[in-house]
Amino acid sequence: MLSLRALSRQAPRSLRTLSSCTARRSLNVYRTPSVLQASWRQASIRPTAAFSTTSRQFESEGQVNIELSGKLESELNVEREMRDPDSMPEHLKEYLDNSPFKLQDNAGQEEVVLTRTFGDEKIRVAFSIDDLNNVDEDADNMTDRALDDESQDPSDMPTDTQSGGASSKGAINQGRTSGGNFKVAPEDSVAEADRPEDEQAQPAQEQEPSFPAHLHITVERPGRGALALEAIAQDGLMIIDNVHFWKDARLVEPKTSEQETAAAKSYTGPPFGNLDEDLQVLFEKYMDERGVNTTLALFIPEYIDYKEQREYLSWLTNVKKFVD
Cβ atoms of 237 and 300 closer than 8 Å: no
- pLDDT, greater one: 136 or 79: 79
Q: What is the pLDDT of residue 62?
A: 75
What pLDDT was estimated at residue 41?
52
pLDDT at 2: 42
181 vs 261, more confident = 261
* DSSP per residue, 255-277: -SHHHHHHHHH------GGGS-H
d(CA 66, CA 74): 12
Helix (H), strand (E) at residue 231: strand 225-234
Between CA 89 and CA 108 the distance in angstroms is 20
Q: What is the pLDDT of residues 71-118, one digit of tens each?
A: 999 999 998 888 787 789 999 999 999 999 999 999 999 999 999 999
| Amino acid making up residue 244 | H
Q: What pLDDT, on the 0 to 100 scale, is given for residue 304?
A: 95
- Give pLDDT, residue 209: 56
* DSSP classification of residue 115: E
Q: For the whole model, what pTM was predicted?
A: 0.61
pLDDT of residue 133: 79
Write out the H or E segment, with its range, that includes residue 15: helix 4-30
Question: What's the pLDDT score for residue 57?
Answer: 55
pLDDT tens digits for range 254-309: 899 999 999 999 999 999 999 999 999 999 999 999 999 999 999 999 999 999 99
CB within 8 Å of 166: residues ≥ 6 apart: none
247: Cα separation from own chain's centroid:
32
pLDDT tens profile 194-249? 555 555 545 545 556 578 999 999 999 999 999 999 999 999 999 999 999 999 99
Lowest mean pLDDT among 41-45, 174-178, 245-249: 174-178
pLDDT in tens, 138-151: 545 555 555 565 55
| Top-confidence range, 36-40, 134-138, 236-240 | 236-240
Dmax (CA) of the chain: 122
Name the more confident of 171 and 80: 80
Distance of alpha carbon 182 from alpha carbon 176, whole angstroms: 5
Q: Taking the CB of residue 122, how many other CB atoms lie within 10 A of it?
A: 16
Q: In this predicted structure, which of 29-38, 42-51, 165-174 has the lowest mean pLDDT?
A: 165-174
pLDDT value at residue 48: 56
